[in-house]
Amino acid sequence: MAPARKPVIAGNWKMFKTASEGAALARELRPKVSMIHDVEIVVCPPFTTIPAVAQALAGSNVGVGGQNLHWEQHGAFTGEVSGPMLADAGCRWVVVGHSERRQLFGETDEGVHRKAKAALAAKLSPIVCVGETLAEREAGRTLEVVGRQIGGALGGLSDGEIAGLVVAYEPVWAIGTGKTATSAQAEEVHAAIRAQLAKSHGQKVSDGLRILYGGSVKPENVKELMAQPDVDGALVGGASLTADSFAAIVRYRG
């Protein structure tokens, strides 16, 4: 029997919230979820907002993450942020390979792999994102595309490294569009990811991997998504920008 996997609900604030706005949101969110201990809760603010949010959430049950990182620890990389910098600013998590990074900034599977390794080296838990475009889904290539992304990002990682990360399946066509994959569509892809990891790293590693769903997750649809056997949490975009809606998602069990 597969082990129980503790769900992860992570909010990706994208390019929203100044330091003062982010701290205010964190202070509002904190008491609304303070009694939730059976879910790992994470918020991922913009870089400039991380220290203020980390301070506002210090000592709480809400972790803080970055939205990206460079694969080197330091160097002549103008405009980049490293894993040790994120950790020093108060992060324990980092989003890696989000589809907006892949589409708008040319990130590759190889780059996502290097960033995941860098995150783990900095003692950060990477949230490794994968997902297909609408054209790829309509062409029947969803499992092929996601399988390639998983292989590129996680191939060559040790069992211990896999245990230190989570995967987020985010169909590109469902991000910010209001469209959501049906629970059956989400489960199909999550189950395929788990089967792929079972082949590459063994059943024990696969059973322990937490796979989140992302793409227009809202209080209204989170319960049905979370009822699927291979859906272990959510990566939440717009609905994480208000304390009430994000708290409602975190409290999906009722």
What are the catalytic residues? 98, 170
Q: Return the number of other C-beta atoms located less than 10 Å from residue 40's C-beta.
A: 22
Residue linked to tokens 């322990």:
208
Contacts of residue 202, Cβ cutoff 8 Å, sequence gap at least 6: 159
d(CA 49, CA 176): 22
| φ/ψ bin of 133: left (φ > 0), alpha (ψ from -120 to 50), beta (otherwise) | beta
Rounded to whole angstroms, the Cα distance separating 184 from 197 reads: 20
Q: Which of 178, 237, 247 is nearest to 213 (CA)?
A: 237
Give me the residue label for tokens 């990389």.
77
- Name the token pair of 18: 């100044």
CA-CA distance, 224 to 219, in Å (whole number)? Answer: 10
Tell me how far apart the 2 most distant CA atoms of the chain are, in Å. 49
Whether the Cβ atoms of residue 44 and residue 66 lie closer than 8 Å to each other: yes
SS3 10: strand
